[in-house]
Amino acid sequence: MPKLTVEGVGEFEVPSGKRLVLALEEEAGIDQLHACGGHARCTTCRVEFLDGEPKSMTAAERDVLKARGLTGIRLSCQILCEHDMTVRAISRLA
């Protein structure tokens, strides 16, 4: 099982293949924003990788980030937990 470390929150074991946005909510218990249902449209599920950033990116994520001029962030709805990673959850309800 991959290990997800969330800055300021803790470390969590996550089922392999689980979407990062769901792991942040369900395993880490944080109030991660997400509004479009995982379709990379709203960009509310933003995270910043501190370690273990996936090298690949979905076309949907790449296109929406480029269209909005966003750099240095990723969309947690488009990332599968397949290896250890450390993130900063920057789009939270609180």
Per the CB < 8 A criterion, the answer to whether 47 and 20 are in contact is yes
pLDDT tens, residue by residue, 28-59: 999 887 777 777 878 889 999 999 999 999 99
pLDDT reading at 91 higher than 80 = no
Mean pLDDT of 7-15: 97
Q: Measured between alpha carbons, how far is 62 from 91 in angstroms, rounded to an integer? A: 18
pLDDT band for position 94 (50/70/90)? Answer: low
> Taking CA 3 as the corner, what is the angle to CA 89 and CA 23, rounded to the nearest 5 degrees?
50
pLDDT tens, residue by residue, 63-84: 999 999 999 999 999 999 999 9
Predicted TM-score (pTM) of the model is 0.90
